[in-house]
Amino acid sequence: MSTAPRILFFADAGPRVGGGHVMRCLTLARALTDRGAECAFVESRAAAPILRRFGWPAQTMLAISDAEDLPGLVTYAQDFAVRFEADLIVVDHYQAAAAEETAMRGLHRLIAVVDDLADRRHVCDLLVDPGFGRRRADYLGLVRATCVTLIGPASALVRPEFALARPRALMRRASHGPVRRALISFGLTDVGGITRRAVAALLPGSGDIRLDVVLGGAAPGLEDLRALADTDRRIHLHVNTQEMVTLTADCDIAVGAGGSSVWERACLGLPTITAILADNQAAMAARLADAGATLALDARAPTFEAELLAAWDQLIEDANLRWRLSQRSSEICDGRGAERVADAMLGLLRLV
């Protein structure tokens, strides 16, 4: 029987929440398997289409539960953890907290939590929160005193391809060239059809700039965007793309969501207008904007389109602003967080 550490992931995913939780957990699982661990995921059937679009790695086991509610999924995870002989369970789920973590822990199993809310109590041995401006004190009373905490963008779970592309991308930014390509990416699920709204708002101020528009095959605005792309050569659609590293490196500016993709763009120093799509994104986007690492707008505001176009014009016209955003964002995240988190988890298991 294998003596490799066995790590089970319990990550939220589906049409409502998108795939960000699973994507960052896949990145961590990859770092762990590179270090000799065996990994598995427990997911609901609603998450399956998203997982397929991400390209599930062959070396990672996937267990699909028929349960759709949280209690049912937790029970399934408990049972599967016994069969898998998991040494540690990684929980990345905004609805899960101390009760669910305790249930999955069992008698001897360790629990690690990936979070960025700091709004509920956890019963975990290791906690990862990559939020910019987050402090250990934010979890005072929410985790045990003995919990290992990895706080800040140094622990952001960014795919290693971004770190590999970083030198080339930063050298390109340093050339201070004009804006020729822009990345428009709000996530595969395209919450509320935001991508179509943003593209329509930006076209009048885009001149000859190429718009690389990224979204998923089930995105609500996809058909409208296809029709728009048929009549406007500037729009290049990338549906369920596997080329985000190349797109992020080769574009000159971006408009993107305030979720985990923030760290991909920061790693490559891409000057960005960050759109806040949910309440949990607002505080960090504001802190990044205050630090000079991004421009931030609330996509839920009635004036969003007008504010977006104004910020877009500013970014295109001001090369010094682009350079400042690139420098500051790239200083915040180097893209090596998955390595650090994987080493910390395996180190914790060796101590048990």
Residue type (1 letter), 147: C
3-class state of residue 48 by DSSP: helix
In angstroms, the CA 55 to CA 42 distance is 16
pLDDT for residue 218:
83
**Torsion angles phi and psi, residue 175, rounded to 5:** -75, -15
Fold (topology level) of 160-332: Rossmann fold (3.40.50)
20: confidence class by pLDDT, cuts 50, 70, 90: confident
pLDDT for residue 55:
62
For residues 352 and 241, the model is more confident at 241
In angstroms, the CA 120 to CA 143 distance is 9
**Torsion angles phi and psi, residue 275, rounded to 5:** -100, 125
54: confidence class by pLDDT, cuts 50, 70, 90: low
pLDDT for residue 1:
47
Q: Which helix (H) or strand (E) holds 208?
A: none
pLDDT for residue 233:
96
Stated pTM of the model: 0.93
Q: What would the pLDDT profile of 80-118 be if each residue is shown by its tens digit?
A: 999 999 999 999 999 999 999 999 998 789 999 999 999
Say yes or no to pLDDT of 21 above 80: yes
**In contact, 130 and 281? CB cutoff 8 Å:** no
DSSP single-letter state for residue 237: E
Say yes or no to pLDDT of 229 above 60: yes
Tokens representing residue 310 in the block: 């104004």
Say yes or no to pLDDT of 313 above 90: yes
- The CATH 3.40.50.11190 domain(s) of the chain lie at 6-158+336-351
User: Length of the chain, please?
Assistant: 352
Fold (topology level) of 6-158+336-351: Rossmann fold (3.40.50)
Can you say how many angstroms the Cα of residue 69 is from the centroid of all Cα atoms in its chain?
Answer: 23
Bridge partners for 212 per DSSP:
183, 236
Can you say how many angstroms the Cα of residue 349 is from the centroid of all Cα atoms in its chain?
Answer: 26
- The CATH 3.40.50.2000 domain(s) of the chain lie at 160-332
28: confidence class by pLDDT, cuts 50, 70, 90: very high
Indicate the average pLDDT of the chain: 93
pLDDT for residue 49:
72
- Of all residues in the chain, the percent with pLDDT exceeding 90 is 83
Query: SS3 helix, strand, coil % of the chain, rounded to 5?
Result: 45, 20, 35
pLDDT for residue 190:
86
Q: What would the pLDDT profile of 140-176 be if each residue is shown by its tens digit?
A: 999 999 999 999 999 999 999 999 999 999 999 999 9
Cβ neighbors of 52 (< 8 A, separation 6 or more) are none
pLDDT for residue 187:
85
